[in-house]
Structure 1
């Protein structure tokens, strides 16, 4: 009995890398679909929360200006750092979440999702990826806000993500890359706890609804319904994530892109300042493109993650 348990544990640890590979593939699909929406969101957060300067009427107005002045390429500004950052970050997030959840659950019989397992697993994964996500997003955001509508001086403009990173280190030191780190940790820990809780419960409910009707059916409709479940559970979970933490994301964008390096890095103080300047609406700047992006981008991430897991032979309850 002991030998069998040891063998099972060894087999599980030896295939753990598959969880990280599946997560990496999910991250790439997220960037391809979601980056243009993210660019619009960041520009709205940067410009529409300032007392002076350029203002966009809405997300469509912002998108039209980007396309007119910069073309489609403008919508993918900063995507290079986002591809590397998101792929690496997604790999670690999904991998850590899967491994931590498995460790906390052990071999206990489970009748459904358990919040006492999901929340700490997701929050832990979110906290860890923040150390990768923070510098990646800082470079991405600074590249995104310096488009043709930017008021940034010519000599401080960045020619590439690498140039942005090097200038940041030169001007602010290595710690400058981690400006907004506390806010990123808060956003990712809270947001991913909401995301995975929503995903697991919707997925569980939809699986319960479909299983009785699918007994004895062939694999093709099963596969199509699996994709449908992934789209709905991933999409709704993505909307829940951003609905819960968008104010923190707005604060992070301001903290990472404000020219004054001595300005506060406290997200609560930043949100208080935004509220005084633009009201409650400013704290949710970029809500439209964020939610429009959240559903397809996260649906793609979950469908890709589950498909990659199936191809790699990862068994899920």
Structure 2
């Protein structure tokens, strides 16, 4: 592995930890809003969680994704950087490279989905815990064991099709927005560097863009994965062709809640990505700057 690739992998791993630590409470609220199908506001949903289950409930299910964020983000950023360098070899052009950003972001989305799907499967099940839940789903390890016993390895990858469909446009919007806003700040600064606050803005805007680009698909994915807590005979969403249940789930949401059913919980998701991606890209940018000084790769 080249020194450039090592820099991409380690910076991506650090970015993933930053994202999860700052964003997870809002992800928990989002999942509760999606699965509860209630009309409560983000504030009311968050307050109910605190009153009934305490502060720790905001971090339910965080262990599996934070462990997964390290390899997942390492893969995502490394794949993005590798594909981008192939499409737009170093030294990078002084002009915006929208096509390269979109393609590299989309490819990184496929790679990310393949790695993150099992962790998101477990996260969704744990976030839906209530006090009288079956003990089989009380911990990440118990979730894994139960899913393997019920369905084998396929149980951990339920919702994979929906995850890939979600993550391709999500990552394309994510990286393109980040790169373009970073480009604008560099033009404004007449420099190749951006400051801390500009890095936060780049990350926050990229988070909002990727949320808006993919949220309806995230609702479908979440419902498919949370349904895995049920036995097969109790599930509503059957795979048609090889869609993993996406078509039936999409139809169900549309019939039950109309088009707005695909945007239930979006307020929490926007805050989740705004805060999480601000931390993620700021962590990534400064980790890259550190490696730029430490390694002879630039």
The normalised TM-score by structure 2 is 0.90
CA RMSD of aligned residues (A): 2.1
Q: 2:73 aligns with which of 90, 102, 105?
A: 90
Q: Could you say which residue in structure 1 is the equivalent of 2:272?
A: 293
Describe the superposition over 1:179-214 as per-residue Cα deviations: whole angstroms up to 9, x where unpaired.
000110111111000111111111111211122xx7
Q: CA deviation at 1:86?
A: 1.4
In 2 relative to 1, CA 118–19 (structure 1 residues): closer, same or farther, beyond 3 Å?
same
For 2:296 and 2:102, how far apart are their aligned partners in 1? 21
Q: Could you say which residue in structure 2 is the equivalent of 1:124?
A: 107
The answer to whether the Cα contact below 8 Å between 2:208 and 2:270 also exists between their aligned partners in 1 is yes
For 2:18 and 2:92, how far apart are their aligned partners in 1? 34
In 2 relative to 1, CA 255–210 (structure 1 residues): closer, same or farther, beyond 3 Å?
same
1:168-187 matched pairs, under 5 angstroms:
168-187=147-166
Q: Does 1:236 align with 2:236?
A: no
The answer to whether the Cα contact below 8 Å between 2:200 and 2:282 also exists between their aligned partners in 1 is yes
For 1:306 and 1:14, how far apart are their aligned partners in 2? 17
Q: CA deviation at 1:129?
A: 1.5
Q: 2:124 aligns with which of 141, 164, 169?
A: 141
For 2:206 and 2:273, how far apart are their aligned partners in 1? 8
Q: Could you say which residue in structure 2 is the equivalent of 1:100?
A: 83
The answer to whether the Cα contact below 8 Å between 2:196 and 2:282 also exists between their aligned partners in 1 is yes
1:235-314 matched pairs, under 5 angstroms:
235-258=204-227, 259=230, 261=232, 263-264=237-238, 265-313=244-292
- Unaligned residue ranges in structure 2 (runs of 5+): 239-243
Q: CA deviation at 1:282?
A: 1.2
Q: 1:197 aligns with which of 165, 168, 176?
A: 176
1:209-224 matched pairs, under 5 angstroms:
209-211=188-190
The answer to whether the Cα contact below 8 Å between 2:110 and 2:168 also exists between their aligned partners in 1 is yes
Q: Does 1:41 align with 2:10?
A: no
Q: How many residues align?
A: 286
Q: Could you say which residue in structure 2 is the equivalent of 1:75?
A: 58
The answer to whether the Cα contact below 8 Å between 1:27 and 1:90 also exists between their aligned partners in 2 is yes
Q: CA deviation at 1:260?
A: 5.2
- Unaligned residue ranges in structure 1 (runs of 5+): 1-11, 49-54, 215-221
In 2 relative to 1, CA 196–154 (structure 1 residues): closer, same or farther, beyond 3 Å?
closer
Q: Could you say which residue in structure 1 is the equivalent of 2:241?
A: none
Describe the superposition over 1:238-294 as per-residue Cα deviations: whole angstroms up to 9, x where unpaired.
001011110100000111112253523332431221121112221111101111121
For 2:135 and 2:92, how far apart are their aligned partners in 1? 58
Structure with bigger gyration radius: 1
The normalised TM-score by structure 1 is 0.85
Q: CA deviation at 1:82?
A: 1.1
In 2 relative to 1, CA 109–96 (structure 1 residues): closer, same or farther, beyond 3 Å?
closer
